[in-house]
Each structure stands twice: as C-alpha cells, then as structure tokens.
Amino acid sequence: MNIDLSGKTALVTGSTQGIGFAIAKGLAGAGARVVVNGRNRDRVDDAVAGLDGDVVGVAADVADADGAQAVYDEVPVVDILVNNLGIFGAVPAREITDEQWRTYFDVNVLSAARLIRLYLPGMVERGWGRVLQIASDSAVVTPAEMIHYGVSKTALLALSRGFAKDASGSGVTVNSVIAGPTHTAGVEDFVYQLVDKSLPWDEAQREFMRLHRPQSLLERLIEPEEIANMVVYLASPFASATTGGALRVDGGYVDAILP
C-alpha cells in the first residue's frame, strides 16, 4: 500500500518525543507537510531537526485556549489534525485532587476539543480532512492506579464519536486510536513507579507487563512506530470509509471482540 500524503498539512500535538514524534515522522515520510508542536521552543526545534521532509515547528501550549489560538493563527490550514497531547501518572484513586481532575481534563480532552473547533470548519469547507485522537486502552480498561487518566481517555472516545457525527457527509473523518502500553521515555518512568527501581529495563518491562498488564497478547510494550503506522493509514485516502471509530493498536490488551 503506497500512502501518498503530498500536498496535505498535518498538525501533531505533543510531538517532540514518544508517540507524537513517531507519528510526525511517519506522516512526513508519507509526504505530508508536518507541523511539530510542543510547549518548549528548544525541544520543538530539536524535534524538527531530527525529522526529514517538509517539517516546521510551533511552540505553544494547546492545553491553554490562548496557546491553541496561537497555533491556529500561525498555521490556519490543516488537513490532518492529530491530537496526541496527553499526560498520565499513577495516583491512588481516593487521593486524586480536584485540581488534578481539572488538569487531566484540560490537557487530555479540552486541548483536542479546542483544536477540532478551530480546524474542523475549514476541513468541512474544503471537503476533505482527517481528525485523529490518540486515546488509550485505559479508556476501556480503567486502570485502578490512575482512574483520572482513564476517565479523560474515555471522554476522548466520546469526543471523537460526537465530532464524527458533526462532520457527517462532509468528506472529513474523525476517529480515535486506542494505543496499548507503549514504550516511551515517560512510560519507562511510569514502569519504575510500579516495579523495583533496581531492575534492569528489560526485566522491569517484563515484570510490569506480568503484574500490571497481564491481558496483553503481545506480552511486550508496543513501539511508537507501530502506533504511527495506524495513524498514517487513517490519515490517508485509503481510510475514507472509516469514521466515528475507535481503532485498536493495543497488542490485544482489551479483552473484547468488537473495537
């Protein structure tokens, strides 16, 4: 399958590292003009320098309304919007504060809602567009150690489904990608919150999967490029009949027949 995104502009939020960086790399490799986004200018510049193709950077905090508007003002035409920005962390359920609930909702949900609100009208007017939210297996299998994160990702699935209905018949598709446990620097830190910090990484990863993600059929963490492959496909013309969906790249973690 030869995916050609030449002539398309893609914005990937939270793309200076991890899954977002892999997605930016994948889209650029398919020929898209890619806008890398993050809060820190130096990290954005470093990410842009690490990618080949037509890549530019915009430093702004899209979890803030002014930051989202700043991105839109700098890049007003986007054909492919990938809402990847997200935060996570382990907190005992009864210790999650109101402030933490608000922060997770602002970053993981409202950042996506704001950017969809800004960019969807142009996509609909042009008759083509792709809007993708990077969700998580935690949206379906709520983790006891971070229910605030799980709730925010569940909300993201509903957000995607709702905006897919809003874009009905327009040529714009809106989907979520349910990413399973993925190997990123942030996840390495998270793993070591839950297993013995003295363990070498390979042993720590196996112990984490055995104790905390035993449902995984891969029995390993997913690599960011494997998430990016699904995103590149969904961003392409080949996925024109896929909308309103929650597509799983979870290593079989979610124990369900239907998506």
Of the residues 72, 104, 149, 253, only one is catalytic, namely 149
Give the integer Cα–Cα distance in Å for 200 and 132: 35
Contacts within 8 Å (CB) and 24+ apart, 237-242: 238/1, 238/3, 239/130, 239/173, 239/175, 240/173, 242/173, 242/175
The SS3 of residue 159 is helix
Contact 204, 161 (CB under 8 A): no
CA atoms within 13 A on the CB side of 134: 30
Is 149 catalytic? The answer is yes
Residue with tokens 């709520």: 142
Amino acid 62 reads V
Residue with tokens 């508007």: 69
Q: At what angle do helices 201-212 and 185-194 cross, to 10 degrees?
A: 70
Residue with tokens 């995607």: 160
Structure tokens at 141: 């299998």
Catalytic residues: 149
